[in-house]
């Protein structure tokens, strides 16, 4: 699978967050969207996820390496991307009246989980095996983040988007995060938005979002 961004731009009011962004993400690769606070990392992730629309250009998911042809002035976005992605971010809330078991079961109704892992096994892997009946509202911030990571990594989808994935995690939480990346990302597209090198040090591809802040029309990929 490939994700194609073609001449993609997003603005709020009269300010362009990024513009003329053309890039292809491919299966089995890891990517980091980097830049200071306010550079547009979260906005770009939300655009790829289909949560917001581009103001110009397109975002498309394809089995072909060559992106589809589009008209210069077109505004397009893939219509069925929600079945292909899982998204983890600090600003995405959990259903706090549920237990961890109830939440993962509820999530699986809308997005299938990896069939070889049962929910009790998942909870044990993320260190929450003794909280299966405890309401999420009584979880610490780190426990909530572990549950969000489980929701993302164990979803049976080809694309995982992570925005500041280690927020509120301690050293053991970071170790869990690295283990999940090592175990589950070999056959997915992983895109991480972060300015913390510890969260994306393993990424082979670095995209500096700030390079697209101005109307330069250039592509800069490190």
Give the tens place of pLDDT for each residue, 126-155: 999 988 789 999 999 999 999 999 999 999
CA-based Rg of the chain, rounded to a whole angstrom?
18
> In Å, how far from its chain's centre is CA 211?
20
What is the phi-psi region of residue 164: left when phi exceeds 0, alpha when psi lies from -120 to 50, beta otherwise? left
Residues in Cβ contact with 205 at an 8 Å cutoff, skipping those fewer than 6 apart: 29, 30, 31, 32, 221
Give Cα separations from 26 to 84, 122, 187, 192, 203 (angstroms): 13, 27, 10, 14, 13
Give Cα separations from 210 to 32, 61, 81, 165, 186 (angstroms): 13, 24, 25, 20, 28
In the predicted structure, residue 198 carries a pLDDT above the cut 70 = yes
- Where does the pLDDT of residue 217 fall: very low under 50, low under 70, confident under 90, or very high at 90 and above? very low
In the predicted structure, residue 213 carries a pLDDT above the cut 90 = no
DSSP H or E run through 119: helix 119-125
Exposed/middle/buried for residue 106 (C-beta within 10 Å: 0-12, 13-18, 19+): exposed
* CA 155/CA 40 separation, integer angstroms: 26
For the stretch 43-99, pLDDT in tens is 999 999 988 889 998 888 888 777 666 654 444 455 567 888 999 999 999 999 999
The pTM score is: 0.88
All domains of the chain in start order, with CATH:
2-212 (3.40.50.300)
In the predicted structure, residue 168 carries a pLDDT above the cut 70 = yes
For the stretch 109-121, pLDDT in tens is 989 999 999 999 9
Query: What letter does residue 144 receive in the DSSP assignment?
Result: H
């Amino acid at each position: 699978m490939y994700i194609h961004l073609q001449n993609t731009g997003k603005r709020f009011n009269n300010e362009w967050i990024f513009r003329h962004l053309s890039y292809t993400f491919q299966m089995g690769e890891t990517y980091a969207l980097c830049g200071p606070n306010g550079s547009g990392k979260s906005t770009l992730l939300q655009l790829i996820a289909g949560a917001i629309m581009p103001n110009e250009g397109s975002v498309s998911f394809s089995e072909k390496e060559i992106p589809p042809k589009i008209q210069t002035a077109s505004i397009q976005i893939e219509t069925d991307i929600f079945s292909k992605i899982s998204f983890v971010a600090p600003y995405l809330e959990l259903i706090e009246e549920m237990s961890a078991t109830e939440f993962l079961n509820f999530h699986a109704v809308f997005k299938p989980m990896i069939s070889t892992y049962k929910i009790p096994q998942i909870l044990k892997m993320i260190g929450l095996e003794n909280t299966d009946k405890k309401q999420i509202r009584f979880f610490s911030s780190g426990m909530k983040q572990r549950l969000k990571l489980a929701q993302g990594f164990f979803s049976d989808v080809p694309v995982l988007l992570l925005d500041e994935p280690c927020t509120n995690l301690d050293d053991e939480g970071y170790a869990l995060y690295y283990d999940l990346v090592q175990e589950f990302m070999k056959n997915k597209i992983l895109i991480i938005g972060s300015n913390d090198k510890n969260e994306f040090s393993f990424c082979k591809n670095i995209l500096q979002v700030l390079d697209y802040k101005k109307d330069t029309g250039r592509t800069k990929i490190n």
